[in-house]
Amino acid sequence: MTILRHALDHSERPVFIGMYLLDKDYNFVHSDLLYLRVAKTIEHPTIVMDIVDSHHKRYYYRAINWERTLLVCVKISNGLSEVEQYIEEPSGKFMAQLYRKANFVSL
């Protein structure tokens, strides 16, 4: 039996979260605490950005505590949203590159 993990984003669309997540170095990670942080970031983001180039991606950004932030990358394909990658503590340079390409989504 397969259990589907998902979180509902700010517009009530389900975003599916795989059993294993990819970190910024594309290593597979499995952790219940990480799953909860990713789900909370999707459900209650501070910033949501859409980037449409060869693929449609949506980025959810949130502070997970006073000192740490989390950026979740979701790939949207054929109307389905699935977590592709997460980045803990994204650098300012990386965020600036996203800001330049992004269309911001109002919450």
pLDDT tens column, 2-47: 556 899 998 899 999 988 888 878 888 888 888 999 999 999 999 9
Question: What is d(CA 69, CA 74) in angstroms, rounded to the nearest whole number?
Answer: 16
Q: Quick one: pLDDT at residue 29?
A: 85
- The reported pTM is 0.90
pLDDT average, residue stretch 76-97: 93
Residue 3 is predicted with a pLDDT of: 56
Q: How far apart are CA 90 and CA 93, in angstroms?
A: 8
Weakest mean pLDDT among 22-26, 42-46, 58-62, 66-70: 22-26
d(CA 101, CA 39): 24
Among candidates 55, 21, 50, 13, which has minimal Cα distance to 38? 21
Q: Give how far Cα 61 sits from Cα of 1, 3, 42, 69, 78, Å.
A: 32, 26, 8, 7, 23
What three-state secondary structure class fits 10?
coil
Instruction: Reply yes or no on whether the pLDDT at 63 is more than 90.
Output: yes
| pLDDT bracket for residue 53 (50, 70, 90) | confident
